[in-house]
């Protein structure tokens, strides 16, 4: 009987640890893709010589 209780406690602890690891991995920030809107120098070079006014 004591072995069964010990097994249940160990399985519960392993399940909890796996759940915590999965939750930590899911909340990790993703790498951000930098597009041309994030680079003002790129936009300035793109519009160089094309004065819309």
Indicate the pLDDT class of residue 2, thresholds 50, 70 and 90. Answer: very high
| pTM confidence score | 0.49
Distance between the two ends of the chain, CA-based, in angstroms? 86
Tell me, what's the pLDDT at 53? 53
pLDDT 10s digits, 9-40: 999 999 999 999 888 877 767 776 666 666 67
Alpha-carbon distance of 35 to 47, in angstroms, equals 16
């Amino acid at each position: 009987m004591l072995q069964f209780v010990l097994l249940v406690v160990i399985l519960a602890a392993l399940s909890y640890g796996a759940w915590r690891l999965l939750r930590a991995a899911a909340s990790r920030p993703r790498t951000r893709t930098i597009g041309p809107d994030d680079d003002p120098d790129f936009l300035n070079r793109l519009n160089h010589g094309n004065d819309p006014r």
